[in-house]
Structure 1
Amino acid sequence: MNYSFDRHRRLRNSKGMRDLVRETHVHTKDLIYPIFVMDGNDIKNPVNSMPGVYQWSLDRVDAEAAEAVEKGIQAIILFGVPAHKDAVGTSAYDTEGIVQRATRQIKANHPELTVIADTCLCQFTDHGHCGVVQDGQILNDESLDLLVKTAVSQAEAGADIIAPSNMMDGFTTAIRQGLDEAGFKHVPVMSYSVKYSSAFYGPFRDAAHSSPQSGDRKTYQMDPANRREAFREARSDVEEGADFLIVKPALSYLDIIRDVREREELPIVAYNVSGEYSMVKAAAQNGWIDEEAVVMEKMVSMKRAGADLILTYFAKDVADWLNK
């Protein structure tokens, strides 16, 4: 027989060969690990809808941060679960707020760890929305003032990166200006630039106690059906001074990650959100899938789509698998 065709399998015939020609790589340094911190003592509350995820009190959160450092994870993002909520999210910008105290404590004990502060109001308002509510409407510009106060207080506490997630128009320029005027020109902004109104956020709202008490967030988060809108949002944030662009969620929006990657030069963060995490955990606990194989395939898909960093609740697991 005299066949003439390409021999693609030559580059697949051994693990060594496959490793040699692999195009996409996931590294521990690519990972951002989310931590939920709350008031109280000796608390390690399991989040029922997110197996392996906990709410930590201040006296125990250092151990969680230390474990992340030991595994080679270089960045964490803090989400606060406050003891007090009110209509304007006062605890979000209180200098003694839970995120501010956790930031100071973690940076004092782990100065090498990059601490990112999620900057939003939803966990801190009694109505669960990401801004000021009046007569059932989420007010845009009035919300910006409170978000700036929150960002500045987080930077004062020692946060290395401010990550605003509220999706108010102009939030990036307002926060950038506020940080600069407060003397924090060196603190970068990791903008939740492309954030869809997704059904995949449910378990996070369980963990952060941040579900809206009325209505939904569709007037400020994006319609999942829209692609071109993502380009407008990303371009606005670039022009307004963002240093990173987050695309959230990740898996159902890999096309958006690729689209944004091809249009913008800033580092892109894929947020592998809570629903994406919980579905895999549930399937793995039932023995339906190989968790490690599925998760690592997911990580590769996000990097292959163009993400530079991955914000994921699997971060510690991924670090263990990479370090084997």
Structure 2
Amino acid sequence: MIEKLEEIKHRFEEVGQLIVQPDIVSDMSRYSKLSKEYKDLEKIVKKYDDYRLVMDNLKNARNILKNEKDPEFREMAKGEIETLEPEKEQMEEELKYMLIPKDPNDSKNAILEIRAGTGGDEAALFAGDLHRMYQRFAEKQGWSMNVLDLTEGTAGGYKEIISTLSGEDVFGMLKFESGVHRVQRVPATETQGRVHTSAASVAVLPEVEEVDVQIDMNEVRKDTFCSSGPGGQSVNTTYSAVRLTHLPTGMVVSCQDEKSQIKNFEKALKVLRSRLYDIEKAKQDEAIGAQRRSMVKSGDRSEKIRTYNFPQSRVTDHRIGYTVHNLGAIMDGEVGDIIEQLRLAENTEKLKDGAEG
């Protein structure tokens, strides 16, 4: 571990020298990548420097205990060792987690797709609740969220809503949210107070650049139409909304949130690119037979991952068996604790796999 940390420290110093060179400052793409690398390495190097200081203090305390005859000095050294030993162990654990290789997609922005599943009107209302939950969570993280396309439910909520989320480490934070979210509650239309179960599916895709996925535009059909509002009525008279159909896969993407047809086209193309990337990545993961599927992220979008039980104010994530009884706060965007538990579970798995490998 120390050898790896020394390599990181050396690279950190190297990047620090590179980002002040005029030829790199003038190249925005390269400067941006190096600045991101510097910021990521800085966290590890700072923790490593703190760890080395603790190790030096431990070494000095042990030397005093070994060579010093004065009882008072020896007692002070013992007390320092008792304090520093657990601190050292804690830092070693933190450094191990920090050294786990990051998914290169973690730092990317994300596309969030929420669709009502089984349960009719109640499923559409729940899809709306989930959208609001992620919207509130995004606000707390300081991210920006833009709705690209939506289809409203007949009694409220959404049959489908697609958004983009921009900010720091968006995909890394939200990638475990993909899957089926189940709700158990008494619908507003239920006259006898019976609890119904319905569901909505969530898909979180990394926003990918043109260099990640090449799309042959001869294989894409572009249709334009008037943007529609609630109830389907046209909200403008220009054909600014865009629908793209990827002919080889039959995939359809629509965008109507901008007044400009060009901007809607660019946004729809971005979603199409991310969906195609997701399909290719799934194929690659399937092809790597030796790669054990994580219990946290199986990649199966049809898998039930979480239940929101309103009568008991209970939320359970089934992948890690984690339950909390603060459903109101969760639905108001306080989902960070569950996400952190999922990230911790994945990192623990990676550490275990590394130790076995």
State the structure with more CA Rg: 2
As a proportion of its length, which structure holds more helix? 2
Q: Same fold (TM over 0.5)?
A: no
Looking at both structures, which has the greater relative contact order when contacts are Cα pairs under 8 Å and sequence separation is at least 6? 1
